[in-house]
Amino acid sequence: MNWPETFRTGAEAVQAHRMRSILTMLGIIIGVSSVILTVGLGQGAQDEVKSQIDSLGSNLLVVSPGSTTSSSGVRGGFGSSTTLTLSDADAIADSSVIPDVKQVAPVTSSSVSLVNGTTNWTTTLVGSTVNWLDIRSRELSSGRFFTAGEVASSAPVVVLGSDTAGELFTGTAVGQTVTVNGSALTVIGVLESSGSSSSETSQDDTAVTPLGSASSVTGTSGTSISSIYVEGAAESTLGAAYQEINSLLLNLHGVTATEADFTITSQEALIETANSTNRTLTVLLGGVAGISLLVGGIGVMNIMLVSVTERIREIGLRKALGATPRSIRRQFLVEASMLGLAGGIVGVIIAVIGAQVLPGLIDQPVSLSLLATAAALVTSLALGIGFGVYPASRAARLTPIQALRSE
């Protein structure tokens, strides 16, 4: 019996018991769809984390001040100290000292109440330089950003986040005036929505103004700043920039690494921390889903053993007519592989449909992986073949006399 004839005979055998074949494939269908969707959920979570962190800026390092300790011994959290200054930012921006840094944006941050007539809104007032827009990878939906001249003169201008502008104005915000602690600021631009937020903060609820203007309206003085945003020259050299900034600030502050009064955070560290948890959960859930595939393979073996038992006389007749053990073994392996492959294909179809439906139900993105899909499909075929070997070998070992004498 040639291969085309073998496949035709195998397909007829599978179709002859449709309900039994469907129930046999059910374990593989569930396993394949579960594995693909589990990997898709894990990949979707990783992509979402990366997208949110990327919204902070590209090749970003954030330098934050250390913690404070009160006279009573109470220690504040990271960022509670005032150890970072404008001179630190200027030193980091010096390319002759740190060649792997592209640009720097010192930042001050405070919570203020913006007032427009009878409307008010409490938001975060950010004081920075012209580099803030590029380093944070933000764009404007209307108006413009402040200039270097306006930063130097501490011009009373402000750029609002999209959420902040929506809370204060019903129409166009550009050209309007908001008041902060009695000081008027002219709105010159509105930021495009970043689409990144959490349950506590929103990147779109902010107001950005020149450094001097922020100090003026909040009544603060001195050269201390809240943080320093640093954009690396290239993603590949971000680690080098990290080391250079760390060494520079240790020298400027006259402290050792164990006494460091600042912290440096990189995007890679944030992404790796978040993704390590997602990967662990994905592997765990994928393992559970993989058990379904194993159960499905056992189901294929069980049905093929039943099929061999039911078709003993057929096997004996074929052997009596000259069929070789190899051709008998090949026929049953083809039937088993058809069950496995068909279950895999149906499982992939269900997974694709699930990837379209699930995000709307659980508010979690699902990113289908072509590699995971192909691997699940190949695994389903391999399970069909692997668990069909024993039943096929058992059928091939039957002698014509034994088979024809069986009831």
pLDDT band of residue 403 (cuts 50, 70, 90) is low
pLDDT at 77 over 80: no
Mean pLDDT of 298-317: 78
287 and 346 belong to one structural domain: yes
Residue that is last in its domain, among 163, 198, 231: 231
227 and 278 belong to one structural domain: no
Q: What pLDDT, on the 0 to 100 scale, is given for residue 74?
A: 41
Tell me, yes or no, whether 109 lies in a domain: yes
Q: What pLDDT, on the 0 to 100 scale, is given for residue 190?
A: 95
Residue that is last in its domain, among 231, 251, 285: 231
- pTM of this prediction exceeds 0.85: no
Tell me, yes or no, whether 24 lies in a domain: yes
Residue that is last in its domain, among 181, 208, 231: 231
Domain count, the chain: 2
For residue 229, give the 3-state DSSP assignment: strand
280 and 395 belong to one structural domain: yes
| pLDDT tens, position by position, 109-130 | 999 999 998 999 999 999 999 9
351 and 301 belong to one structural domain: yes
Mean pLDDT of 218-240: 85
Tell me, yes or no, whether 281 lies in a domain: yes
Tell me, yes or no, whether 307 lies in a domain: yes
- pLDDT-wise least confident of 274-278, 331-335, 387-391: 274-278
Which residues are registered as beta bridge partners of 18? none
47 and 113 belong to one structural domain: no
Tell me, yes or no, whether 315 lies in a domain: yes
227 and 283 belong to one structural domain: no
399 and 279 belong to one structural domain: yes
| pLDDT tens, position by position, 149-188 | 999 999 999 999 999 999 999 889 999 999 999 899 999 9
Tell me, yes or no, whether 140 lies in a domain: yes
112 and 23 belong to one structural domain: no
Mean pLDDT (the chain, rounded): 82
| Contact by Cβ (8 Å): 97, 112 | no
Tell me, yes or no, whether 249 lies in a domain: no
- Residues 6 or more apart in contact with residue 133 via CB below 8 angstroms: 139, 140, 145
| Contact by Cβ (8 Å): 267, 54 | yes
| Contact by Cβ (8 Å): 189, 145 | yes
282 and 225 belong to one structural domain: no
Radius of gyration of the chain (CA): 33
Q: Which domain holds residue 184?
A: 105-231
60-65 and 227-232 strand pairing: antiparallel
